[in-house]
Structure 1
Amino acid sequence: MRILLALAALTLAACSTVPGSAPVRSSTDWRQVATSADRTRLRDWRAAFAKALSQAKAAGHGGEVASEGKLLEPDAAIGQVPIPNGRYKCRVIKVGAKSPGLLDYVSYPAFTCRVSQEKELQGFNKLTGSQRPSGIIFPGDSLRQVFLGTLVLGDERLAMQYGRDPDRDLAGWVERIDGNRWRMILPYPHFESTLDVIELVPEQ
């Protein structure tokens, strides 16, 4: 019952048309909010990372993977959490095809994202683009934080409530990988790829 209440309380906000990211939640512990499927995805992030890199390299994208340096190195996290609030240039890289016929490596140009304070937690919203993660960043451990959210598609104005549709749910790790550079790792997203990596660089 506590988990159901927590899921009901995690109503995720709109994209750029609505200022806030989420209302008050009943728990600040991500383990009390995450679905069973998302706890599994978070646990298996390294397997997803290794599989995705293997797929990309096998498809001839080894040079592109290498050129990204720490961004696509599984153990690049260097700590210093939480990620600072503010606006970021966020670049999405999709690594590994989820099914035959899809691309094994796609790097998109940078869009705008925002990290904002949400009571004791932080909200994350990708503000532009056709696929926009929207959700909450929770405390994790000394190296990383946990992101739980949903995917806003196309011209949708509001994000779906987390836990309502498993195909829209997102779960990932937020890590600092350089002096002023972070990434969000999203293992086994339900659309297109084996792994999504979002590079986060503060806007100047």
Structure 2
Amino acid sequence: MLRAERLAALLWLLPVAGFSQQLSDGTAIHADDQRRLQEYHAAAGDALLQAFSGGDGADLAVLSDVLQGTPLPPDRAGPVMAGEWSCRMIKVGGLLPITVYQPFRCRIGSDGGFEKLTGSQRTKGQIHQDGDRLVYLGTGFIAGDTPPPYADLPPFSTIGSDPQRVPEVGVVEMLDGNKGRVMFPDPHLESRFNILALSR
């Protein structure tokens, strides 16, 4: 067999990069988003090192406060999530050590539907239970656009596409009925790790 033919045969044996895997509840997740979940702690550690080595003291104080607290298990988090939330985006690592934005408005439905309602960069999707954690799968988009659901997105985002739509994956942690956070490892835009702090 010629070298090129051998290479072609080997490529057929490799998994397709965009092939959907599943969360433990059976929800399909793109392979790249599953990778981001698997690299969650590496992304968080890298981002926090960047933040604490070059971030502003006031921003770091906000970050420290947001990261405090032990999350509730999923069966206790579900009943306290629904309703309107003030949500504050913190972008950590990447282009800048840390950027803390002013509060926006978010909403979580009784079915786990999640939406960031204000600001130029928005997200809309669904919170799922994945074993002993809650995982958010959604579509990142620009205000004014009507985003497709996560399931209809291509497996990889095209940065700079028009309209700009990217798959978003995050770990949801509820601390109580008045405080929570959505942690986005290795987001496609700008930063190394995003934290959407929830309060009411």
TM-score where L is the length of structure 2: 0.74
Tell me the secondary structure at the aligned position of residue 110 of structure 2.
strand
Kept in 2, the 8 Å contact 1:184–1:197? The answer is yes
Kept in 2, the 8 Å contact 1:183–1:197? The answer is yes
1:149 aligns with 2:166: no
| Amino-acid identity (%) | 33
Matched residue, 1:77 = 71
**Residues 30 and 195 of structure 1, relative CA distance in 2, 3 Å threshold:** farther
In 1: Cα distance, 2:189 partner to 2:87 partner: 19
Q: Deviations 1:112-142 (Å, cap 9, x if unpaired)?
A: 1110134xxx100001110111101001344
User: How many residue pairs are counted as aligned between the two chains?
Assistant: 169
Q: Deviations 1:130-157 (Å, cap 9, x if unpaired)?
A: 0111101001344x3110011011321x
TM-score where L is the length of structure 1: 0.72
1:107 aligns with 2:104: no
1:33 aligns with 2:23: no
Alignment of 1:87-166 (within 5 A): 87-97=84-94, 102-118=95-111, 122-142=112-132, 144-156=133-145, 158-162=146-150, 163-164=153-154, 166=156
Matched residue, 1:190 = 188
Tell me the secondary structure at the aligned position of residue 134 of structure 1.
strand
In 2: Cα distance, 1:191 partner to 1:30 partner: 28
Tell me the secondary structure at the aligned position of residue 81 of structure 1.
helix
Give the counterpart letter for 1:81 in structure 2: A
Shift of 1:185: 0.2
**Residues 67 and 161 of structure 1, relative CA distance in 2, 3 Å threshold:** closer
In 2: Cα distance, 1:31 partner to 1:41 partner: 18
Matched residue, 1:200 = 198
Q: Deviations 1:19-55 (Å, cap 9, x if unpaired)?
A: xxxxxxxx98555411111111111111111110111
Give the counterpart letter for 2:34 in structure 1: R
Larger fraction in helix: 2
Matched residue, 1:176 = 174
In 2: Cα distance, 1:93 partner to 1:81 partner: 22
**Residues 125 and 67 of structure 1, relative CA distance in 2, 3 Å threshold:** closer
Kept in 2, the 8 Å contact 1:71–1:177? The answer is no
Matched residue, 1:21 = none
Matched residue, 2:15 = none
Over the aligned positions, Cα root-mean-square deviation in angstroms equals: 2.6
Higher RCO by CA contacts (8 Å cutoff, separation 6 or greater): 1
Pick from 55, 78, 82 the counterpart of residue 60 of structure 1. Answer: 55
